[in-house]
Amino acid sequence: MRALLQRVSTAKVDVAGETLGEIGAGLAILVCAMESDDAAAAEKLARRTAKLRIFRDAEGRMNRSLLDTGGAALVISQFTLAADTRSGNRPGFSTAAAPELGRTLYEAYAAALRVQGVQVATGRFGADMAVTLTNDGPVTIWLES
């Protein structure tokens, strides 16, 4: 699985004008399941996400995790993270998981974050979503399981 994490002071996701998920300080997470992924990959990525030390400590260093800060996570499905742009002008997405598997692993990732003790808000898998966020830093990290 792949995830793009953005440290935020606020983030929300709307679908058709309705806010589905909203958080204060924490992480906005775009997540993509790849065709070879399984539930273990989702759990591993969730553990790494929850424990990644990218929040400031008292000295201003990135030394605290989402768990340490009590921050929340806004988890958004984003199959385009599987884009293959090595050739041509149109990205290919053949390495992304099929929609059924993608949905299952997206939900497994969000559930695994909750098990870690993270407050989780989500968008809607496969929907056309409007994501609004305020980057903190900015800090943007790419993770793969």
Q: Is residue 56 part of a domain?
A: yes
Q: In which band, very low, low, confident or very high, does the pLDDT at 106 lie, cut at 50, 70 and 90?
A: very high
Helix (H, G, I), strand (E, B) or coil at 107: helix
User: Across-strand partners of 18?
Assistant: 15
Q: Is residue 142 part of a domain?
A: no
Q: Which amino acid is at 105?
A: L
- How do residues 49-103 score in pLDDT, each as one tens digit? 999 999 999 999 999 999 999 999 999 999 999 999 999 999 999 999 999 999 9
Q: Quick one: average pLDDT of 122-133?
A: 97
- How do residues 20-37 score in pLDDT, each as one tens digit? 999 999 999 999 999 999
Q: Is residue 145 part of a domain?
A: no
* CA 7 – CA 130 distance, rounded (Å): 18
Q: Is residue 69 part of a domain?
A: yes
Question: Which one of the listed residues 79, 104, 116, 122 is annotated catalytic?
Answer: 79
Q: Is residue 144 part of a domain?
A: no
Q: E-strand spans in the chain?
A: 2-15, 18-23, 26-32, 55-56, 62-64, 72-77, 119-122, 130-144
Question: Which one of the listed residues 6, 49, 55, 78 is annotated catalytic?
Answer: 78
Question: Which one of the listed residues 80, 132, 134, 140 is annotated catalytic?
Answer: 80
What is residue 98's predicted lDDT score, i.e. its pLDDT?
A: 97
Domain residues for the domain of 34 are 2-136
Active site residue 55: no
Active site residue 104: no
Query: What is the tally of structural domains in the chain?
Result: 1
